[in-house]
């Protein structure tokens, strides 16, 4: 008997309950692919967040350090603050800085160190009516002995230099006519002789021409109104003026450093050492250092000589690792660059 055609719609390959055993495999791979995409997306987002997260130990940003030589107006230090050799000496001169020093005039005192026990010092005097005074110590400044120089008729001293334990040189004016001369001693001051070479090589400030520095090459006018001191022992001409140091470079240009309250300076093996008054945190004289060429110069505080709360004329000198300072009637010696005295 012949088989007849089945009537009605063809049977679907899909069961209504979705449970057909011949379900296409592409549906399974589609589901797996979507799942993998989601997983990868989550991982990428997590890595991006981790990359931008700030570690706990650096979560707080710190300002970049800045430095300035122009200090803020400080408070006046309390009397007696800052023990000798213990004060930092940093900062700016306090309001009402002590001292009867007129820092617009050339210095009138000189000190020249030999070593830790012997040194020379001199008081400028005036010409023609005054007289320059030279003294010497060999016991660390405990006693000072007047050096006989009457035969020189030295009226005013412009420069004094130690040349060794018993040798020294002085430049100044002599006699009623104020003749400019230079003398040397090789006998600790017992005898002196005129020395033309010393005069020709001398650099100094003549109070009669206070805005000019006399040098072997001729007069030089520093770019400041009140040159106070020619700093001894420097390779370049270095001048202390009111609140600043100036150094003339080989091309004639000047470099400068602001040193508020500066009273005296000297060269050392490490650069320059400067003495300042009225510095916040130091009730006396503040000691600081800076580079000899003053390029990018920053003051480095060293110590505080608290005993000198009212400094008058101040002079400073260094030799063989010993720093000498003369203020008022007292002299001091430091073997650690001014940290202690």
DSSP state of 53: P
Higher-scoring residue by pLDDT: 15, 294 = 294
Taking 3-state DSSP, the helix, strand and coil percentages for the chain, each rounded to the nearest 5, stand at 10, 35, 55
pLDDT score of 305 more than 80: yes
Checking if the pLDDT of 323 tops 90, the result is yes
E-state strands within 97-148: 109-113, 119-123, 133-137, 145-146
Residue predicted with more confidence, 41 or 139: 139
Gyration radius from the chain CA atoms = 40
Residue 225: per-residue pLDDT: 87
Torsion on CA atoms 31, 34, 35, 41, rounded to nearest 10: 180
The confidence score (pLDDT) of residue 53 equals 45
If one compares 74 and 47, the residue with the highest pLDDT of the two is 47
Q: Say what the pLDDT of residue 182 is.
A: 98
In this prediction the pTM is 0.71
Using one digit for the tens of pLDDT, what is the confidence trace for 188-224?
Answer: 999 999 999 999 999 999 999 999 999 999 999 999 9
Please give the pLDDT value at position 310: 86
Per DSSP, the three-state class of 9 is coil
Q: Cα separation of 128 and 133, whole Å?
A: 14
Q: Does the structure show a pLDDT above 70 at 249? A: yes
Is the pLDDT confidence value at 45 over 60?
no
pLDDT of 97 reads 38
Q: How confident is the model at residue 296 (pLDDT cuts 50, 70, 90)?
A: confident
Angle CA 246–119–102, to nearest 5: 40
Q: Tell how far CA 258 is from the center of its chain.
A: 9
| CA end-to-end distance (rounded Å), the chain | 136
78-134: per-residue pLDDT in tens?
333 333 333 333 333 332 333 455 666 788 999 999 999 999 999 999 999 989 999
For 193-252, the DSSP string reads EE-HHHHHT--EE-TTSTT-EEETTEEE--SSS---EEPTT-SS-EEEETTEEEEE-TTS
Q: What is the pLDDT of residue 293?
A: 86
The pLDDT assigned to 112 comes to 98
Mean pLDDT of the chain: 79
Tell me whether the omega of the peptide bond preceding residue 188 falls within 30 degrees of 0, making it cis: no
Quick one: which of 37, 92, 119, 53 has its CA closest to 334? 119
What is the distance of C-alpha 111 from the center of its chain? 22
Specify whether the CB–CB gap between 304 and 281 falls below 8 A: yes
At 17, the pLDDT band (50, 70, 90 cuts) reads: very low
In the three-class reduction of DSSP (H, G, I as helix; E, B as strand; rest coil), residue 52 is classed as helix
């Amino acid at each position: 008997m012949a088989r007849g055609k089945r009537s009605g719609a063809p049977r679907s390959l899909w069961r209504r309950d979705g449970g057909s055993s011949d379900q296409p495999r592409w549906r399974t791979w589609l589901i797996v692919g979507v799942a993998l995409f989601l997983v990868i997306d989550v991982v990428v987002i997590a890595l991006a967040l981790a990359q931008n997260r700030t570690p706990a130990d650096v979560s707080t940003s710190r300002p970049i350090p800045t430095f300035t030589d122009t200090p803020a107006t400080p408070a006046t230090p309390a009397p007696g603050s800052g023990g000798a050799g213990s004060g930092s000496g940093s900062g700016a001169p306090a309001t009402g800085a002590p001292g009867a020093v007129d820092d617009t005039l050339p210095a009138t005192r000189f000190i020249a160190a030999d070593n830790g026990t012997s040194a020379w010092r001199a008081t400028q005097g005036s010409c023609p009516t005054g007289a320059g005074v030279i003294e010497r110590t060999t016991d660390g400044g405990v006693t000072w002995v007047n050096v006989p120089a009457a035969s020189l008729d030295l009226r005013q001293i412009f420069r004094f230099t130690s040349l060794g334990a018993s040798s020294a040189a002085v430049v100044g004016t002599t006699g009623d006519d104020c003749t400019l001369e230079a003398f040397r001693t090789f006998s600790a001051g017992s005898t002196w002789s005129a020395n033309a070479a010393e005069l020709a090589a001398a650099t100094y400030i003549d109070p009669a021409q206070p805005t000019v520095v006399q040098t072997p090459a001729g007069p030089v006018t520093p770019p400041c109104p009140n040159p106070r001191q020619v700093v001894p022992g420097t390779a370049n001409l270095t001048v202390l003026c009111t609140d600043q140091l100036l150094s003339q470079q080989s091309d004639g240009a000047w470099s400068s450093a602001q040193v508020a309250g500066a009273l005296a300076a000297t060269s050392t093996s490490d650069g320059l050492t400067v003495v300042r008054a009225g510095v916040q945190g130091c009730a006396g004289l503040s000691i600081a250092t800076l580079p000899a060429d003053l390029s990018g110069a920053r003051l480095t505080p060293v110590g505080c000589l608290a005993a000198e709360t009212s400094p008058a004329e101040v002079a400073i000198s260094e030799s063989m690792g010993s720093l000498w300072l003369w203020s008022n009637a007292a002299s001091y010696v430091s073997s650690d660059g001014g940290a202690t005295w």
